[in-house]
C-alpha cells in the first residue's frame, strides 16, 4: 500500500506493518525513496544508513537513533522499576556502564520514582551528567556506601550529579555519599539515612568540587531508619599531600548522633551558610591536620558544643553559636573569629584573633591560657560592655594562688630594654578596686625596677628579680589573671 504520504496515523488501517507500510518520501542525492514507518522511527533509509533532518530548518542533521540517544533514561534498561516494588540494581549498573562506554557522554536521566537497589554503581564517570527529574529516591538495601563516586588511586573531573536526589539507606549501611578523588565536579543530594556509625557525606581528596548536600531527618520528615548518621560531613585526605582542597560546601546538617561537620586532612575549603545544629556532639570540628578552611555564617546552635578548632589558620566569619553551654574550644594556631555570636570561648591556642564578636549572652566567658591572643571590638553580651582591646604582644597568665602568699605570675624577658605595663586582678571579682593592682616596670637588661604602681587593699604587685609576683589577700585561694604588655 503505497502513496499514503500525509495520511494521519489515526487514518491508517488497523494492524499496519510498520516495516512494510510506506509512510513518507525522502529525497537523497536527487533520488526519491519511500520510507516505511519503521524506517522513519529508526532513522534508516531503504538503501542503507541515512540521515533525517529531525530539527527545524537549519538544525543539525542526525538519525533518529542519534536524536534519541542525546539523553538516556534509567527506564531504558531492563529491570528498572520506579515504583520501588522490585530491585533495580542490574538496571542501574547497565545504565551507568552504558554512559561510561560512550566517548561523548550523554545526559543520564533518573525519572521521578523510588529505585530499590543493593549495590551502588560507581558514578565517577568523567564528563558525565546524572540528573533527577522530579523527586528521585535512591533506596539502598546493602551494607556498603549508598552512592559512590570513586576515582580509586587516581582522580576524575567534571562529574555532575544534579537535582532532587534523596538517599535512603538503613543504619546497617556505610556512608550515604562516598566521594574519593573527585575533582572539579558538582554533587547535589539530600541524605535521609545511612549507617549509624557513618557520615551522610564522606569526602576524601576531592579538589575544587562543589557539594550541596543536606543531611536531615526530623526537621524535614524523619530518618529513613531509626538511627541517625554519626556525622553529617566527614572530610579528610587520601594520603600525605593529597588533602581535600579548594572545595565549596553548602552544608545543611541537622540532628546527627555525633559531630556535625568534621574537617580533617583538608586545606583551603569554604563552607557557605547553612547549619550544623541540633546534634549531640560538636557543630564544627577542625582537627590538627586542617588548615586555612573558612566558614561563613554557619549556624551551629543547639549542639553539645559549638566549635572545636585544633588546626592552623582556620577562619570563622559570622558564626552563630550562642547556645548556653555550647562553647567554642580553640587549641590550634591562628584561629580567626570575625563577627558572630558566641557564649563561652576557651582559648588555649596560639595567635587566636577575636574581632567584632559578641560573647557571653548566656553567661559564658573568654578563658584559657592562649598565647598571643588579640581582641578588637569584643562585646560582652552579658554586661553590654566592650572588653579592652588586646594586642598580640600582650602576655596573659591565669594562676591559682593561696591567700597571703607571694606567687610568680609572669617573668620578664631575660634581655633587652623595655617598659612594661603589668596588671593583675581576680577573675570574677567585678570592678572592685581592692581586687586589682597595676604597675609600670622598667627593664634594663637583667635589672628591673617598678617605676610606679597602684595596689588594691587585697592585692599587690612586687618584683623578685625578673619574676613578677602577686599577693592576694581575699582570705581564700583564688585564680588571678595577670597581663603584661610593652608600652
Instruction: Tell me, yes or no, whether 372 and 420 share the same domain.
Output: no
Considering its fold, how many domains does the chain have in total?
3
3-state secondary structure of 164: coil
Secondary structure E strands in 358-477 = 358-359, 366-367, 374-376, 379-380, 385-386, 395-401, 407-411, 417-426, 436-444, 447-455, 459-464, 467-472
- Stretch 236-248: mean pLDDT, rounded? 96
Torsion of CA 204, 206, 212, 216, to 10 degrees: 0
Cell of 125: 564517570
Instruction: Tell me, yes or no, whether 307 and 414 share the same domain.
Output: no
Instruction: Tell me, yes or no, whether 382 and 403 share the same domain.
Output: no
Instruction: Tell me, yes or no, whether 77 and 59 share the same domain.
Output: no
- pLDDT given at position 198: 98
Q: Is residue 456 part of a domain?
A: yes
- pLDDT given at position 225: 84
Domain boundary among 386, 406, 435: 386
Q: Is residue 2 part of a domain?
A: no
CATH of the domain at 102: 2.160.20.10
- pLDDT given at position 297: 97
pLDDT tens column, 356-399: 999 998 889 999 988 778 899 999 999 999 998 877 667 777 88
pLDDT tens column, 184-210: 999 999 999 999 999 999 999 999 999
**Domain encompassing residue 357:** 71-386
pLDDT tens column, 466-475: 899 999 988 8
Q: Is residue 138 part of a domain?
A: yes
Instruction: Tell me, yes or no, whether 49 and 80 share the same domain.
Output: no
Comparing C-alpha atoms, which of 201, 122, 198, 123 is closest to residue 167? 201
| pTM score | 0.74
49: confidence class by pLDDT, cuts 50, 70, 90: very low
- pLDDT given at position 431: 43
Q: Is residue 348 part of a domain?
A: yes
- Stretch 10-18: mean pLDDT, rounded? 55
Instruction: Tell me, yes or no, whether 93 and 166 share the same domain.
Output: yes
Distance CA 224, CA 254 (A): 14
Instruction: Tell me, yes or no, whether 58 and 76 share the same domain.
Output: no
- Stretch 98-119: mean pLDDT, rounded? 92
Q: Is residue 1 part of a domain?
A: no
Q: Is residue 3 part of a domain?
A: no
53: confidence class by pLDDT, cuts 50, 70, 90: very low
Is pLDDT at 55 greater than 50 in this prediction? no
Distance CA 411, CA 465 (A): 9
Instruction: Tell me, yes or no, whether 401 and 270 share the same domain.
Output: no
- pLDDT given at position 29: 55
pLDDT tens column, 72-93: 999 999 999 999 999 999 999 9
Burial class of residue 132 in the structure, from the number of CB atoms within 10 Å of its CB (0-12 exposed, 13-18 middle, 19+ buried): buried
Instruction: Tell me, yes or no, whether 93 and 202 share the same domain.
Output: yes
Query: Can you say whether the dihedral through the CA atoms of 298, 303, 307, 308 is positive or negative?
Result: negative
Domain boundary among 22, 41, 64: 64
Is pLDDT at 27 greater than 60 in this prediction? no
Instruction: Tell me, yes or no, whether 399 and 373 share the same domain.
Output: no
Q: Is residue 4 part of a domain?
A: no
Instruction: Tell me, yes or no, whether 404 and 366 share the same domain.
Output: no
**Average pLDDT score, the chain:** 87
- pLDDT given at position 32: 61
Instruction: Tell me, yes or no, whether 326 and 283 share the same domain.
Output: yes
Q: Is residue 209 part of a domain?
A: yes
- pLDDT given at position 207: 98
CATH of the domain at 421: 2.60.40
Strand 129-140, strand 107-117: pairing: parallel
Domain boundary among 334, 352, 386: 386
- pLDDT given at position 45: 40
Amino acid at each position: 500500500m503505497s502513496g499514503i504520504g500525509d495520511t494521519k496515523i489515526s487514518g491508517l488501517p488497523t494492524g499496519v506493518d510498520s516495516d512494510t507500510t510506506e509512510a513518507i518520501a525522502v529525497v537523497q542525492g536527487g533520488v526519491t525513496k519511500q520510507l516505511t514507518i519503521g524506517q522513519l522511527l529508526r532513522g534508516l533509509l531503504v538503501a542503507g544508513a541515512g540521515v533525517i533532518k529531525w530539527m527545524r530548518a537549519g538544525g543539525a542533521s542526525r538519525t533518529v537513533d542519534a536524536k534519541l540517544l542525546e539523553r538516556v533514561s534509567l527506564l531504558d534498561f531492563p529491570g528498572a522499576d520506579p515504583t520501588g516494588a522490585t530491585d533495580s540494581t542490574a538496571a542501574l549498573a547497565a545504565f551507568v556502564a552504558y554512559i561510561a562506554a560512550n566517548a561523548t557522554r550523554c545526559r543520564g536521566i533518573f525519572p521521578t520514582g523510588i529505585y530499590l537497589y543493593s549495590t551502588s554503581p560507581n558514578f565517577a564517570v568523567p564528563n558525565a551528567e546524572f540528573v533527577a527529574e522530579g523527586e528521585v529516591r535512591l533506596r539502598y538495601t546493602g551494607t556498603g556506601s549508598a552512592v559512590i563516586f570513586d576515582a580509586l588511586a587516581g582522580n576524575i573531573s567534571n562529574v555532575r550529579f544534579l537535582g532532587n536526589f534523596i538517599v535512603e539507606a538503613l543504619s546497617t549501611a556505610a556512608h550515604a555519599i562516598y566521594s574519593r578523588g573527585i575533582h572539579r565536579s558538582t554533587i547535589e543530594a539530600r541524605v535521609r539515612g545511612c549507617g549509624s556509625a557513618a557520615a551522610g557525606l564522606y569526602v576524601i581528596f576531592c579538589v575544587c568540587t562543589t557539594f550541596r548536600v543536606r543531611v536531615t531527618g526530623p526537621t524535614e520528615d524523619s530518618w529513613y531508619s531509626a538511627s541517625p548518621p554519626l556525622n553529617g560531613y566527614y572530610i579528610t585526605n587520601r594520603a600525605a599531600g593529597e588533602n581535600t582542597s579548594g572545595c565549596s560546601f553548602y552544608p545543611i546538617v541537622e540532628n546527627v548522633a555525633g559531630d556535625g561537620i568534621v574537617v580533617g586532612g583538608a586545606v583551603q575549603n569554604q563552607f557557605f551558610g547553612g547549619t550544623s545544629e541540633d546534634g549531640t556532639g560538636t557543630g564544627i570540628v577542625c582537627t590538627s591536620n586542617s588548615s586555612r578552611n573558612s566558614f561563613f555564617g554557619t549556624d551551629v546552635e543547639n549542639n553539645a558544643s559549638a566549635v572545636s578548632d585544633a588546626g592552623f589558620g582556620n577562619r570563622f566569619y559570622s558564626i552563630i553559636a550562642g547556645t548556653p553551654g555550647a562553647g567554642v574550644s580553640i587549641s590550634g594556631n591562628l584561629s580567626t573569629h570575625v563577627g558572630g555570636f558566641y557564649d563561652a570561648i576557651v582559648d588555649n591556642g596560639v595567635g587566636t584573633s577575636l574581632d567584632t564578636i559578641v560573647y557571653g549572652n548566656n553567661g559564658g566567658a573568654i578563658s584559657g591560657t592562649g598565647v598571643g591572643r588579640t581582641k578588637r571590638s569584643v562585646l560582652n553580651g552579658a554586661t553590654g560592655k566592650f572588653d579592652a582591646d588586646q594586642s598580640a604582644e600582650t602576655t596573659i597568665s591565669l594562676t591559682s594562688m593561696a591567700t597571703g602568699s607571694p606567687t610568680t605570675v609572669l617573668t620578664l624577658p631575660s634581655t633587652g630594654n623595655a617598659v612594661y605595663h603589668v596588671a593583675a586582678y581576680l577573675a570574677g571579682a567585678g570592678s572592685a578596686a581592692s581586687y586589682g593592682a597595676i604597675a609600670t616596670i622598667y627593664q634594663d637588661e637583667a635589672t628591673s625596677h617598678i617605676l610606679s604602681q597602684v595596689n588594691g587593699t587585697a592585692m599587690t604587685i612586687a618584683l623578685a628579680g625578673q619574676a613578677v609576683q602577686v599577693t592576694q589577700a581575699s582570705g581564700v585561694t583564688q585564680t588571678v589573671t595577670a597581663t603584661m604588655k610593652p608600652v
